[in-house]
Amino acid sequence: MTTHISADLSQAIRAHAEQTLETIGSLYRQLHQHPELPFQEHQTSAHLADALEAVARDTPGMEVTRGVGGTGVVALIRNGEGPTVMLRGDMDALPIKEDTGVEFASTDTADTDGGSVPLMHACGHDLHSSCIVGAATVMAAMRDQWQGTLMLICQPAEEIFGGAKAMLEDGLYRRFARPDIVLGQHNMPALAGNVGHIAGRAMAAASNLAITIHGAGGHGSMPAHTIDPVVIAAHVVTRLQTIVSREVPPEETAVVTVGRLHAGTQANIIPHHAELDINIRSFDNDLHRQLIEAIERIVRAECDAGRCPCPPDIRVINDTIALYNDTGLVERLRRAHGEHFGQDALYDMHRLNGSEDFPLFGDAKAGGFGGDDIPCAYWFIGATPAERWAATPGITVADKMRHLEMPHSPHYFPGNPVTLRTGIEALVSGAVACLD
């Protein structure tokens, strides 16, 4: 059954969201000021679990579990017979120095293998997880308005495509519940208070590959006595450009980017090896596998042509599948969000070449949980204050967004109160629309 978001129900959602905004705003500022890297979200997850446990103390049928998949947090609100709906938010940060100028900007750092790095919530995951707590608070206060089980996820390590896999491998669906529907959202530099939807292929599959080409180094004055991995790497980089131009059908979209090429220490030394890091994106999982196969074929062929003493090392650092938003579910959510926020607050989101590990929660094979796939939908909440939006050139949402800071920018800040409230209410209205 699909619940209609009546005027009375919408008013109740707004009222309960308003009551929790001060508490959730304080939680958000705490998380924003002290970001943590993927799988290091120890304090972040503790703050989120504490906040959810505070809700659970006054909510019969609610339980909270820490340490799922490392630092993940799972909360269940069991409220009678009915479907199980999962709401997912992520919580990891990025190695970026914040330059937003907000009072509670991060000045934290972390030690990594490459040395100390600055930390920032430049993608708004602090906002997402705060909205999860806000949604839990509102849904707990409105238990007489819905039936079923609400499953709330604070997920680690989205930025490295590791958290969803870690939670699923830790028995997320076996230990807690297997959802009937999985819902998620992300902030974008659209108008704050607006909600964007896209059905079907919405976000790209992505893979990051690390490649080592083995040569035989020596003196730069005697190249005939060496096997130069720099020259071989240069041919690889050039040849890789033909994959998209000559192997991908024109109607498809794909990206193959060599983001890092490192070899040698000084001009008169031919090094023993060259290293490449390659990023791949596409919107079709079968095509994506073909891209990886093409890269492996080209790298090996160039190494053979260059007389490498041994085959190249090719390793997938991390990857995720394309996000496919269930068409029927998107229409249900679009209707619910339209009933709650008003049709004027909705916009059509364009397809994004960015990537997420969110779709692993719905794809039975890729997620490793077996059985049928689970319908998923992922929408977008605007994060640009009205005054800034009005002053931004462009007519369409896509036009204006080209002139605004995007996630992963040191200047990007989505945490205004309108976006926080919208994120909470979008999760609640979406969940209620999918529960009995």
- The reply to whether 7-204+322-434 and 206-319 are identical in fold is no
Expressed in angstroms, the distance from the first to the final Cα of the chain is 6
Phi and psi angles of residue 263, each rounded to the nearest 5 degrees, phi first = -160, 140
Query: pLDDT means per 10 residues in the chain (436 residues)?
Result: 83 98 98 98 98 97 98 98 98 98 98 94 98 98 97 98 98 98 98 98 97 97 97 98 96 96 97 98 96 98 98 97 98 98 97 96 96 98 97 95 96 97 98 93
Which residues, including other chains, have CB under 8 Å from residue 378's CB and lie 6 or more apart?
A: 183, 184, 185, 186, 202, 203, 323, 325, 356, 358
CA distance 44 to 156: 10
The pLDDT tens digits for 362-373 are 999 999 999 999
pTM of the entire structure? 0.95
**Rounded (5°) CA angle 28-389-376:** 55
Asked if 210 and 403 count as a contact pair (C-beta separation under 8 A), the reply is: no
Record: fold of 7-204+322-434: Aminopeptidase (3.40.630)
DSSP classification of residue 176: T
CA distance 166 to 70: 7
The pLDDT tens digits for 317-376 are 999 999 999 999 999 999 999 999 999 999 999 999 999 999 999 999 999 999 999 999
**Rounded (5°) CA angle 394-400-402:** 115
What is residue 129's predicted lDDT score, i.e. its pLDDT?
98
Secondary-structure class of domain 206-319 per CATH: alpha beta
DSSP classification of residue 145: G
CA distance 64 to 47: 13
CA distance 360 to 276: 27
Per-domain boundaries in the chain: 7-204+322-434, 206-319
